A and B are shown apart, each in its own frame.
Chain A
Amino acid sequence: MSAGHGTTTGPLPVGQFAQLIQHTVKNDPMFQHQALAGEVSQWSVHNGNIYFTLRDDVGQMSCVIWRSARLNIDPAIKVGSEVIIIGSLDLWPKRGNLQLVVSKIQPVQTLGALEETKRQLIETLRDEGALEMPSRPLPSLPKHIAIVTGAGSAALSDMKRLIENRWPSMRTTVIGVLVQGEHAPRELVRGLAITRDLARPEVAQRLGLPPVDAVIVGRGGGSPEDLWAFNLEPVVRAIMASPVPIISAVGHEQDHLVSDLVADVRASTPSNAIERLVPDRHGVLMLMDDLDQRLDASVQRRLQELRQQLALLTSQLKHAPGKGVYRAKDVLNALGGRLTRSVDAGLARQQQRLATLQATLQAAHPKRVLERGYTMIQDDKGRVLTAAASLQQGQTVNLQFADGRAAADIHTIEPEEDQP
């Protein structure tokens, strides 16, 4: 407004001046949707509208939250609370007061205040006995793992790489969520609710999958504020509600969160969670093969021993010495005969059962090994060759595959050096 304007038209009516200010502040981005921090004072409610003052050591502004804005207001906010608001400056010409129309308000959680909330939650959980709940063991062979973690995060990449190394065909459902920021708690809770559904047999059956039998919830490292969702009650309660064993895998080794206290297992990192849950496939298959072979060999050996014992007993009875002990010898002979017959009958019956079982095993097992890509090598006399040292240059060997045989000539022999 120039001085000339004033002189040509006379004094400006004050109402118009107020309107001019209103027009100016409402059209200047500097005064609209500003994030402001301060302390709440004089909090009051009239007709559903909330009036308060935002102040600090230097100044203060009147604020209003219109009823029509329907804001979610943290019940913890009271006079004296440190808050952050989003406010737009306005002036009501009839009263001439500048005020901030608030479109968002939230308490400032200083780390100290956060720690206090965490401490209170731990205390509540302790009072409930939730911290003494026995940990459920992780399945040694999971059929379906659910992972709730940051979509596209580095932690997820690490976990996927480890699964690939340990058990590439492990059935895994990853649910990508936000793990930090305002929406993280809600998304984690939703993600965990899905894992509970996936653990229900009827849901799993409809999807044609085995039910989820273990859950990992977590994220990679970050600042304490970044990890804070895992200290919040809704997330902690969702972890406690898991019907199957659940691993909390948040941040790094040194980070301790409430989620760690209520989960069945605390993993130091997301990668550590995979190491603890996903078995090494190669090792598991080796163990199975080993048990298979030992079962077979031990039974064969025991049967051989029993046969020899029987033969010895029979021969001892037949050649029992002594004249004058005919009576005793007759009795022994009779007993021996009965024993031989009953043992023979029992043995024949059991051997038949054994033969059937052995046929099943033998038909299945070596072939299974061959089908996995192993080959059995025999010399021309049919002896199995297991050492490179037993080979000779130019020797012809037979290769036994799952589906047939082949002959091959040895042209290079390279025995492996002894390990230091």
Chain B
Amino acid sequence: MSEEQQTYDEAVQRLEAIVTQLERGGKNLDETLAMFEEGTTLLKRCQQELAEAEGRLAELRLDEAEALVKDDE
């Protein structure tokens, strides 16, 4: 699982697939625990991404915005 490349959407999809498979049952102990572990990691990852999506709205005039990005360039 390449966590860096995986988008939030892909992580949620994978997590949903894991939960559905676990709910269907029939996996052996090792498979069950491996899936649980992956699911837990994905869950943490998604929660972290949700935390990162918290910010605020900034309204800038064109010249202000230009000054902001051009700073020290």
Binding site for B on A (CB under 8 A): 139-144, 151, 160, 163, 167, 169-177, 187, 190-191, 194, 197-198, 203, 206-207, 209-210, 284-285, 287-288, 291-292, 294-295, 298-299, 301-303, 305-306, 346-347, 350, 353-354, 357, 360-361
CA of A187 to CA of B61, assembled, Å: 11
Residue pair B60, A175 in contact (C-beta under 8 Å):
yes
- A169–B43 Cα distance when bound, in Å, is 21
* Interface contact B40-A287, CB-CB below 8 Å: no
Q: Which 7 A-B pairs have the closest CB atoms?
A: A171-B55, A298-B22, A140-B9, A197-B69, A141-B8, A172-B57, A174-B59
A141's partner among B53, B56, B65, B66 (CB-CB below 8 A) is: B53
Taking the nearest CB of chain B, how far is it from the CB of A401, in angstroms? Answer: 21
Q: Complex Cα distance A203/B65, Å?
A: 12
Give me 21 A-to-B residue pairs in the complex whose CB atoms sit less than 8 angstroms apart, sorted by A's number.
A140-B8, A140-B9, A143-B52, A143-B53, A169-B56, A174-B58, A190-B66, A191-B62, A194-B69, A197-B69, A206-B72, A291-B12, A295-B19, A298-B19, A299-B32, A303-B29, A303-B32, A350-B30, A357-B37, A357-B40, A361-B40
In the assembled complex, the Cα of A388 lies from the Cα of B23 at a distance in Å of 30
* Count of inter-chain pairs, beta carbons less than 8 A: 133
Do B49 and A141 touch across chains, with their CB atoms under 8 A apart? yes
Number of interface residues of B (CB under 8 A): 44
Residues of chain A contacted by B52 (CB below 8 angstroms): 143, 210
Q: How far is the CB of A195 from chain B (nearest CB, A)?
A: 9
Q: How far is the CB of B64 from chain A (nearest CB, A)?
A: 9
Distance in angstroms between the alpha carbons of A5 and B5 in the assembled complex: 93
Q: With a CB–CB cut-off of 8 A, which chain A residues contact B7?
A: 139-140
Supposing A174-B59, A294-B23, A305-B25 touch, asked if A284 and B50 sit within 8 A by C-beta, the answer is yes
Check A291 against B16 for contact (C-beta < 8 Å). yes
Partner of A294, one of B19, B58, B60, B71: B19
Task: Find the A residue at minimum CB distance from B24.
Answer: A298
CA distance A142 to B70 in the complex (A): 24
Inter-subunit contact B60/A144 (CB<8 Å) = no
Q: Looking across the interface, which residue of chain B has its beta carbon closest to that of A279?
A: B53
Residues of A within 8 A of B18 (CB): 295
B54 nearest in chain A by CB position: A169
> Which residues of chain B are near A210, meaning CB under 8 Å?
52, 55
Q: Are A302 and B55 neighbours in the complex by a CB distance under 8 Å?
A: no
Given known contacts A197-B69, A291-B19, A298-B22, A174 and B49 CB-to-CB distance under 8 angstroms: no
The answer on a CB contact under 8 Å between B8 and A139 is yes
**Max chain A C-beta neighbours (<10 A), residue from B12, B57, B61:** B57
Q: How far is the CB of B54 from chain A (nearest CB, A)?
A: 5
* Chain A positions within 8 Å of B39 at CB level: 295
Contact partner of B59 (CB less than 8 A), chosen from A170, A176, A191, is A176
Cα-based distance from A194 to B63 in the complex (angstroms): 10
B66 and A295 contacting across the interface, CB-CB below 8 Å: no
> Judging by beta carbons under 8 Å apart, are B60 and A176 in contact?
yes
For the complex, give the distance between the alpha carbons of A206 and B69 in Å.
Answer: 9
